[in-house]
Amino acid sequence: MRRSKIIMSVAVLSACLALHAEFKAGFSRLDVTPPLGIPIPGYFNMRIADGVLDPLVIECVAVSDGSNTALIYSVDDLHLTNPFFEKAFPLITKATGVPRDRIYVHATHTHTGATDWPRKYYTKEQNRLVRVFADVRMAKLADAGRFAIADMAPAKIAIGRTECKDVSFIRRYRMKDGSVRTNPGMKNPDVDHPLGAPDESLQVVRFKRDGAPDIAIVNFGTHPDTIGGTKYSADWPGVVRKTFENGIGGGVKCLFLNGAQGDVNHHKYMPEPARDTLYAARSNGRRTAIAEYMGRRVAGTAMSIWDLCEEVPAGAVRGVVAAHSMPANVPTADELKWVELFDAGREKEIPLGHMEIKTLTGKSSRVRELKNGPDHFDVLVSSVAIGDAIAFAGLPCEPFVDIGRDIKAQSPFRMTMVTCLTNGSEGYIPSTKAHSEGGYEGLSSRFSAPTGDALVAAQVKQLKELATGK
């Protein structure tokens, strides 16, 4: 009996060592800058692209344990919606052989990208352009996966974690009258206090490759909306990539993953002279000034721990994508009444702030969409793991920072990279506490207050299943 146990232990150890030796990682990057004339989503007003500030790209990191391969993408887009993915995923699998549960496509949430799918309020010509470019983007996702797999080389894994301080701030505030407002203005005298604190943690995964440049995955969460206007730009995530690669040198490649960012904004209160300098540069035509500041701060923080990353064992590559039923945010009688008042030209009678009114009454608002139900929606939650050390926790929404914090705290993995807008786009999902407090994000969300806690539970369940081999 003892002899058989020893033989079994040696066999397991040998398998683990073989698996470690077979671990590989590869990288690809493709320019996916759209043609001009496509609508740019992200604001309440229509914007049509009329120029390019910097390229939009698709990046892909392929990882393999020798038997199973996973593809981790980062795409310069506001979001990629569910109809887009219904067509894109089969194309990626056909091109790469990677099954659906190990395809992980994240959108950085730049507010100067192109619409991914036709909209009912676009013109016929705009929707034609959108659909043509959607097909191009799908083809490039498939190509990026193939190229990353072809680039794979034997690799070791190292991880690092630190904080990027004073870049993000919670954008929701309790006002002195007791109400909750989003972005009420930095010098607004009616502000009482912010509702929470940003997650300033920054995480790095380093793939040390044999005979090929290293690959970095950098994870940090806040809104990429520093530029505005009608010209394509990757915003500060693009600056992170460029600055990191130039700073480290040696051909290193950097993929950026945005974290839980639903209630955090960028460029925190800096000293007045510094802030004035950045805004003056932006006003004088250098629209990327704040993006450059943000990207350099994040990249510099990541570079500061690059040489200190701790090596961890590789292991089995596995993933899961599962649908979880979440309760819908069905409109109340008051909300339906407010929309009627708005449509009747009586906006002044609605007891909400301007941003909240826009959210509640827009052409595709949650109130208009859900006035006849349904009561629940299925939400796809995505998880990918490498060995026992690293997990990627993808949420198809803009989750609040507390959701990201809770997932990381409960995850069984040494490092868990929570990412927003992954494998779908379901809009804002506030934490349960934040939803009950009110504000713009909760008003716009298709999901009711318990969804925050339910989303955490769903992701943690999947991560624990991956960790135990189920």
- From its phi and psi, is residue 190 left (phi > 0), alpha (psi between -120 and 50) or beta? alpha
Q: Which of 16-20, 65-69, 394-398 has the lowest mean pLDDT?
A: 16-20
Of residues 226 and 2, more confidently modeled: 226
The tokens for 397 are: 């929404």
Q: Say yes or no to pLDDT of 446 above 70.
A: yes
pLDDT score recorded for residue 21: 52
pLDDT score recorded for residue 469: 83
Q: Say yes or no to pLDDT of 448 above 60.
A: yes
Could you tell me where the beta strands, DSSP code E, fall in 168-306? 169-170, 172-175, 180-182, 191-194, 201-209, 215-220, 231-232, 253-258, 264-265
Kindly report, residue by residue over 399-423, the tens digit of the pLDDT: 999 999 999 999 999 999 999 999 9
Average pLDDT over residues 211-224: 98
Kindly report, residue by residue over 190-202, the tens digit of the pLDDT: 999 999 999 999 9
What integer best gives the mean pLDDT of the chain?
92
pLDDT score recorded for residue 259: 98
- % pLDDT > 70, the chain: 94
Kindly report, residue by residue over 47-101, the tens digit of the pLDDT: 999 999 999 999 999 999 999 999 999 999 999 999 999 999 999 999 999 999 9
Of residues 215 and 276, more confidently modeled: 215
pLDDT score recorded for residue 33: 98
Q: Say yes or no to pLDDT of 439 above 90.
A: no
Contact call for residues 423 and 378 (beta carbons, < 8 A) = no
Counting Cα atoms < 13 Å in the Cβ hemisphere of 153 gives 12
The tokens for 246 are: 């130039």
pLDDT score recorded for residue 283: 76
Q: Say yes or no to pLDDT of 336 above 90.
A: yes
Q: Say yes or no to pLDDT of 15 above 50.
A: no
Binned at pLDDT 50, 70 and 90, residue 186 comes out as confident
Q: What is the pTM of this model?
A: 0.92
Binned at pLDDT 50, 70 and 90, residue 273 comes out as confident
- For residue 330, what is the DSSP state? P
Q: Say yes or no to pLDDT of 3 above 60.
A: no
Average pLDDT over residues 5-13: 40
Contact call for residues 312 and 257 (beta carbons, < 8 A) = no
Q: Say yes or no to pLDDT of 383 above 70.
A: yes
Binned at pLDDT 50, 70 and 90, residue 8 comes out as very low
Contact call for residues 423 and 394 (beta carbons, < 8 A) = yes
pLDDT score recorded for residue 268: 64
Cα–Cα distance for residue pair 153/214, rounded to 1 Å: 10
